[in-house]
Amino acid sequence: MSNGSENHPSAGSLVGGPTPSPAIAKKVKKVVELRLDAPELSAALDQLTEFYGANTLENRRNLKSCIEKRGIDVNHQFINCFEDVMKKLDHVENYVMKLSDCSQRMQQRLHTAQTTTAQVLKLTEQLQKKEHTAEAHKNLVLAFLDRFRLKPSEMQLLQTGEVSDPFLEVLDRVGQIQSESKQLLRVHHKTALMDIVDEAASLQEKGFDRLYRWLQKELSNVQGDSSDVPLLVKKGLKTLRSRSALYKVCLEDLAVSRRQALHKRFVAALSRGGPGGTPKPIEIHAHDPLRYIGDMLAWVHQALASERELLASLFIATRPDSSEPSKMNSVTARVEEDKVLAGVLDGVSSTVQARVEAVLQSQSSAVLIFKLGNLLLFYLHTIGGLLPDGASLTSTIQGCHKLAGKLFMELLTASSQRLYKQPPPCPSTLAPHNDILAALEELKEVMSSFDASLIPARLRENYFKPVVEEGVEPLIGACALSANAITPAEGSIYLVNCLLAIQTLLQRYDFCAWRIPRLQNQIAQALEQGIKEQVLIIMRQCNLDDKMYSVRSWKSEQRGEGMESLSGMVGMDPLALSISLKQFYGVVLTSSLEYRYVDRLSTSSIRSSARSKVAAGITQSYKELYDAIISPESGYREPHAILLHGPQQIESLLMGSV
């Protein structure tokens, strides 16, 4: 290989020679770029040394053939090595061919079998579907029957078993079955559902009938205490409510039973009292009408509260829930319960009415009858508020109250008319007569009793107005008749004193305020008349009454030529007038003026006011006389010789002596 350089052209010859072909250039480039230290090259050279031999020219020339021969030898070795494998592969191929033939035959047989059994498989599939459908229908029918039919044990319990919680549950379930069946009747399965509805209705009817009879027996044993009512009875009543006809009959039976028991208890309380004589019999106080009637009505009120509590505990579980769609059911339930309560209290109505009416009709005192009426009114509001409208007991108490009012008005009218027809004589003191004071005292007791009643303030005036009219008006008339039987001065003062006594009584109570203004006008008129009479009497005592009459007559006549002067009138000459005025001046100056009648007024403030008005009246009369005398037309030449004092001086003296 050291001689190899001789056989290869140099680089310069390559550059200077002709251009090599691309293939050769590529190979040259590959050889140039070959790395002599590469492991692959080393391994290839080591392999080559095994068959290449010496590095001779011949060997180099035969290198390619040697390599090809080496490749052929390697291939022969490879073929020899795989000859057994080929044989085995041929054997495997023979088996595969046999398997292929067998598979084809099996496929043909399977195709034939599939064609033969297709109908069987289809039929089997259809039967399986039908089986699933039938199983679902079976489960549905079982669920339907379990919901819409009773079990044998439940049916036996409903028909022959004792009334108990399970019995009521089964009865409620029958009602639910019937209700749901009727709803389903609107859509489908009408034949089957009709049978179920009929069967449920028959069972329900039998169950309700047994429940009704059982409740009849149980309710007849219920005592007065609400704790005695078993819970099962309450549940039974709630269940029976759905059958309204039987429920109403059951309530009526309950009312009858409780009414009879209440009547017996009331009669025992009236005549025998409580156990062992405590409390005492109510009739032991029959001599005291107020206590007798009050104890009766108090017992009735207590019994009403007990019965109400008993019925409330009995019906509390039977009332419909407030969550129900319609509240009418709840209202109807309460109306039914109130009706039962009213029916129970009917047991004492007739007894109460008989005894109260007997007491009222045996009384002759208007005050006592009025107090009894107020007592009845109190219990009318108290008991009536716990009973429904139209209850017999409420009507009974209301009737007794009206009877009391009627009897009271009759007695009051009779008493007032008796005074009016036979007016009492006027006392010398001009104070109200004892008969008048007794009548006012009676009215005072009536008003005090009425003031303590429960009637609202806004209604009291109209309610009590007839009493005032029947009690006060005839009394005023009697006082006026008595006043007319004596002198006007005494009669006026007597009438004023009587009217003041009546006013004092009426002013105590607001419900009599409507009558006071008119009464004050009557007092003012009578007082004015009394003052005029008192002035006239004083003027008469001084012999000035006829002089005043002459002055007023002279002033009222038309004055003209030839008319008589004041001094020319009879009794009006200067001497007679001077004598009368000196007497008047003597009385005024010595403060000996007597207010004989007005001083007998019963009220100090009015008495003082009346004295002042009398003094003013005297002053006014004197001023009228004074003006007439000093008038130029009077005919007096020296009037100031007659009139020693002016009106202002007389007024000062009179007002100072009041």
Question: 141 vs 534, which has greater pLDDT?
Answer: 534
CB within 8 Å of 449: residues ≥ 6 apart: 367, 370, 371, 374
| C-alpha pair distances (Å), 573 with each of 217, 539, 586, 620 | 115, 18, 20, 22
pLDDT of residue 357: 93
Q: Which of 421, 446, 461 is the last residue of a domain?
A: 421
Question: Which pLDDT band, with edges at 50, 70 and 90, does 321 fall under?
Answer: low
Q: Cis before residue 279, ω within 30 degrees of 0?
A: yes
Q: Which of 401, 421, 441 is the last residue of a domain?
A: 421
Q: Say whether both 460 and 588 belong to one domain.
A: no
Range of the domain at 605: 542-554+567-657
Name the average pLDDT for the chain.
83
**pLDDT (mean) for 595-606:** 90
Q: What percent of the chain has pLDDT over 70?
A: 88
C-alpha angle 294-297-301 in degrees, rounded to nearest 5: 130
Q: Is residue 586 part of a domain?
A: yes
Q: Say whether both 470 and 546 belong to one domain.
A: no
Query: Rounded to an integer, what distance in angstroms lies between the CA atom of residue 362 and that of residue 288?
Result: 12
Q: Say whether both 595 and 515 belong to one domain.
A: no
Q: Say whether both 431 and 473 belong to one domain.
A: yes
Q: What does pTM read for this prediction?
A: 0.65
Which amino acid belongs to residue 601?
L
Q: Is residue 361 part of a domain?
A: yes
C-alpha angle 576-579-580 in degrees, rounded to nearest 5: 90
Sign of torsion, CA 617 618 620 624? positive
Q: Is the pLDDT of residue 495 over 90?
A: yes
Q: Say whether both 347 and 385 belong to one domain.
A: yes
Question: What distance, in Å, lies between the first and last C-alpha atoms of the chain?
Answer: 186
Q: Say whether both 394 and 435 belong to one domain.
A: no
**pLDDT (mean) for 95-112:** 89
Q: Is the pLDDT of residue 2 over 50?
A: no
pLDDT for 246-271, tens place per residue? 888 888 888 888 888 888 889 989 98
Q: Is residue 168 part of a domain?
A: no
pLDDT of residue 128: 87
Q: Is residue 508 part of a domain?
A: yes
pLDDT for 399-457, tens place per residue? 999 999 999 999 988 888 888 888 999 998 999 999 999 999 999 999 999 998 878 88
Query: Rounded to an integer, what distance in angstroms lies between the CA atom of residue 142 and that of residue 615?
Result: 118
Q: Is residue 220 part of a domain?
A: no
pLDDT of residue 639: 86
Q: Say whether both 406 and 465 belong to one domain.
A: no
pLDDT for 168-212, tens place per residue? 887 888 877 777 777 776 666 666 667 777 777 777 788 888 888
Q: Is residue 10 part of a domain?
A: no
Question: Which pLDDT band, with edges at 50, 70 and 90, does 6 fall under?
Answer: very low
**pLDDT (mean) for 60-79:** 80
Q: Which of 398, 421, 444 is the last residue of a domain?
A: 421
Domain count, the chain: 4
pLDDT for 138-168, tens place per residue? 777 777 767 777 777 777 777 777 887 878 8
pLDDT of residue 549: 87
Q: Say whether both 527 and 580 belong to one domain.
A: no
What are the tokens at 538? 């004083």
pLDDT for 387-401, tens place per residue? 888 889 999 999 999
Q: Say whether both 412 and 476 belong to one domain.
A: no
Q: Say whether both 375 and 261 belong to one domain.
A: yes
pLDDT of residue 324: 46
Q: Say whether both 395 and 263 belong to one domain.
A: yes
Q: Is residue 532 part of a domain?
A: yes
Q: Say whether both 269 and 412 belong to one domain.
A: yes
Query: Rounded to an integer, what distance in angstroms lies between the CA atom of residue 352 and that of residue 379?
Result: 12
Query: Rounded to an integer, what distance in angstroms lies between the CA atom of residue 198 and that of residue 185?
Result: 12
What are the tokens at 283? 């009739």
Q: Is residue 414 part of a domain?
A: yes
Query: Rounded to an integer, what distance in angstroms lies between the CA atom of residue 172 and that of residue 116?
Result: 61
Question: Which pLDDT band, with edges at 50, 70 and 90, does 606 fall under?
Answer: very high
